[in-house]
Amino acid sequence: MKAIHFTLNGKKASCEVQDKELLLHTLREQFSLKSLKEGCGIGECGTCTVLIDDEPHYSCLTLASKINGHDVKTVEYLGDAELLHPLQKAFIDSGAVQCGYCTPGMLLSAYSLLIKNGDPSDDEIKEAISGNLCRCTGYIQIIEAIRNAAGLCKCKS
């Protein structure tokens, strides 16, 4: 067991983890962050995406012990039902959500893109979410939502 200290969704967090414990399991079990999903367990589908220092990572491939001292964000960071992030709002308005299983990971990959690039091209958006599989939507309304949110985020800043 090893104690780790990190920032989780903007707040200080600590816990004890096993040497081989995966971040996905730590966050789901110790912090009840059930928005992270295990769609494949081998880093191919992106449903377990988290942001580590604002970069998307597959939490199913990340050892929990490696996040000591880092900043970790899940979809809960973006906003809640009372105060949605413009990206979340855009996902709703564009019809970018169907079964919803890929949605949290998709939002995080999109958020990571938008904080680096406030005016991404469609190709840049497609590339940014290419590690997040979605079986329902055909991605088009997701891409539209990210494009629209980029405009909104810019207006805000």
Partner 1 sequence: MYIGNETNRIDALDKVVGRPIYAEDLSVPGALFGCVFRSVRPHALIRRIDASAALASSGIVKILSYRDIPGENIFGIIKKDQTYLAEDRVRYVGEPILIVLGQTEEAARKALRLIEIEYEDIDVISDPFISGGSRTLIHEKGNLLSHRKVIKGDIEKGFDEADVIVEHTYTTAWLDHAFMETESGVGYPDNKGRIVVVSSTQNIHYKQKEISKLLAIPEENIKVIQATTGGGFGGKLDVTVEGFLALSVYHAKRPVIMRYTREESFLSNTKRHPLYIEYKTGARKDGAITAIKVSIIGDTGPFASYGETVCLRAAVHATGPYEIPNVHVDSKMFYTNNPVSGAMRGFGVPQLAFAHESQMDEAASMLKLDPFDIRIKNALKKGSLTATSQALHNSVGIVETLKKIEPYWRKRTRESGKTGFGLGCMYYGIGNTGVSNPANACLTITGDGKIALHTGACEIGQGSDTVLAQILQEALGLKMDDIVLVRGDTDTSKDAGSSSASRQTYISGGAVFDAAKKMRQYLDEKGFYKGRSIRDIYNSEADKKLLEHNGFFDPPTTPVDPETSKGSPYATYAFATHMTEVEVEKETGSCRVKKVYAAHDVGRAINPKNIRGQIYGGIAMGVGFALMEEFIPGKSGSFDNYYMPTSMDMPDVEAFIVEDQEPTGPFGAKGLGEPALIPQAASIVNAIKDATGVRAFELPCHIERLKILLEKAKR
- Rounded Cα–Cα distance for residues 97 and 137 (Å): 7
Q: How far is the CB of 7 from partner 1 (least distance, A)?
A: 18
- Cα 109 versus chain centre, distance: 5
For position 121 contacting partner 1 by CB under 8 A, the verdict is no
Length of the chain: 157
For position 59 contacting partner 1 by CB under 8 A, the verdict is no
Chain positions 66 to 105 lying near partner 1, rule: CB under 8 A, are 74-76, 78-81, 84, 88-89, 91-95, 97-104
Q: How far is the CB of 31 from partner 1 (least distance, A)?
A: 12
What is the crossing angle of helices 86-94 and 103-116, to 10°? 130
What is the crossing angle of helices 140-156 and 103-116, to 10°? 40
The answer to whether 59 touches 47, Cβ cutoff 8 Å, is: no
CB atoms within 10 A of CB 156: 7
- Choose which of 2, 14, 42, 115 interacts with partner 1 (CB under 8 A): 42
> Which residue stretch of 3-11, 49-57, 62-70, 141-149 sits at the interface with partner 1 (rule: CB under 8 A)?
141-149
Q: Which residues bind partner 1 (CB under 8 A)?
A: 32-35, 37-42, 44-45, 47, 74-76, 78-81, 84, 88-89, 91-95, 97-104, 107, 125-127, 129-143
